Structure 1
Amino acid sequence: MDVAAEKAEAAVSAAMSAGKLAPALKDWAIAYASRDPQGFAAWAKAAPVIVAADKDAHSVASAASTDAGLTEEDRIACQLLGMSEAEFAAHKQEIARA
């Protein structure tokens, strides 16, 4: 394995360990990091956490919460429903108590 391939593999492993890359995208990521290391580094820096770090591939990072206790998915639902995050959080707490 040449140096560029090793660096690409290391960058992809780091992104996966940080939860920013699902294991299913490993081949794509290695190809991207091999072709454009700086572009992949910029992508990895800006990418949100989508997989719980150090967990299996099916553990989606719903645990990435906001101050209101909302996940990223909850915030998207707020936008789609036209609700404020505070309203959504209050409703979510009501449901949890029920």
Structure 2
Amino acid sequence: MGASKSWNNFTVTAPGEAVNSPDSIMSYKQIYYSDKYDDEKYEYRHVMLPKDIAKRVPKTHLMSETEWRNLGVQQSQGWVHYMIHQPEPHILLFRRPLPNQKA
């Protein structure tokens, strides 16, 4: 991956490369991860983003794993961004199949 370059207080990185500015590190520390909960098919969790990260969430589609990881969300593989709750777009809703279940 290419090196990050700063330009007029903006940090430009290669796709998928983390931004390590002091502001972004503080924001990542402010991401809240709920406890996991489940039903008969899925395990669920929600992730609450601080405002500065939430404004980067796309409004037109559910995010791929690459997209939510690029926002700084950190969780194990298999989680899918499955729903947008319009009144609270800063809360990301994730689910993954329970073991021995198929999506």
Task: Work out whether the TM-score is over 0.5.
Answer: no
Query: Which structure features the higher share of strand residues?
Result: 2
Answer 1 or 2: higher relative contact order, Cα 8 Å, separation at least 6: 2
TM, length-normalised to structure 1: 0.23
TM, length-normalised to structure 2: 0.23
